Amino acid sequence: MAKPEVLTNVVDFGDNPYLIGPHEPIREELDTPELECIGEIPKDFSGIYLRNGPNQRHAPYGLHHWFDGDGMIHSAEFKDGKVSYRNKWIKTKSLAEESEEGRSIWPGLMDTPDRDLKTSWGSDLWLKDNSNTDIAIHAGKAITTFYQCGEAYQLDPVTLNTLGSIDLESQGARLMSAHCMTDECNGDLLFFDYAVKPPYMTYGVINKDSQLVNFTPIELRGSFTSFHGFYT
C-alpha cells in the first residue's frame, strides 16, 4: 500500500479574520511520537482523544467564513504514561480536486452561489463538502461529517488516514447531516438527511458493515427545514 501523501500549506491568507489569530490554519501534517509533558500522566490512563475542525488549505475562492475550512482531524493518544500527537487533513473528494488544481474551486458560505460551477454538496448543492464538523465512532472507524449534508468519511482512528466515504447513493440514500449518532446497544449508526426537494427529510440506519438497513422518508408540513442535529 502506498504511503499517504503528507500535505502542507504555504498560502498567504492576508488579513481575513477567519484565517488569522486563533483561526489561522495549521500549515502541515505532523506526527509527534512523544510530547513533553508538565507533570505526570498515569501509566494506566490510555485512549485517544480526537478533534475535528476547519483548517483551510488553499486561498479562498472569495469571501471566507470559518465554516468553509477544510476538515482536519487531530489526535492525542495516551499510552504508558506518554502522549503523542498527530494531525491530518480529511482527504475529501473536494479537497483532492482542489489540491489537483492548486486552488479553491467552490464559493464559501458568505459568497453568492455560482450555478455555473459543478454540482457539489450541501442542502442546495453548491457548497464544498469539507467534512469539518463532527466525529462519531462506528465499527472501529472514525466517521466525519459536513455541517450541512454531505458524504460520511471513514478514517482510521489511530493513523488518521482517510479510508473513503460510506457509499449511501448506491443503496438508495443520499447524504448525511452534521451529527450522526452510534447506537450504544447494537453499534448501528443513526443519521438524518435533508434537502430542498421532497422528501425534505429522511432517517437512516447503517450497520457495522456500512450497509443501509433502514431508510425512512419523513413527511413535513410545508417545505424545506434545516436539521443540523436532531438527537437527544
Domain definitions of the chain by residue range: 21-182
What does the pLDDT look like over 164-180, one tens digit per residue?
Answer: 999 998 998 888 989 99
Q: Quick one: pLDDT at residue 125?
A: 66
Q: Quick one: pLDDT at residue 112?
A: 78
CA torsion angle 72 73 76 79 (round to 10): -140
Question: Exposed, middle or buried, 50 (CB in 10 Å: 0-12/13-18/19+)?
Answer: middle
Q: What letter represents residue 122's amino acid? A: G
What residues contact residue 46 under an 8 Å CB cut-off, 6+ apart? 78, 79, 80
Q: Which regions of the chain are under pLDDT 70?
A: 1-4, 114-115, 117-125, 222-225, 230-232
Q: Quick one: pLDDT at residue 122?
A: 58
Q: Quick one: pLDDT at residue 71?
A: 98
Cα–Cα distance measured from residue 117 to residue 77, given in angstroms and rounded to the nearest whole number:
41
In DSSP notation, 92-124 reads -HHHHHHHHHTS--S--TTSPP-TTSPP-BTTT
Yes or no: say if 95 and 69 are a contact pair by the CB < 8 Å rule: no
Q: Quick one: pLDDT at residue 161?
A: 98
C-alpha cell of residue 11:
498560502
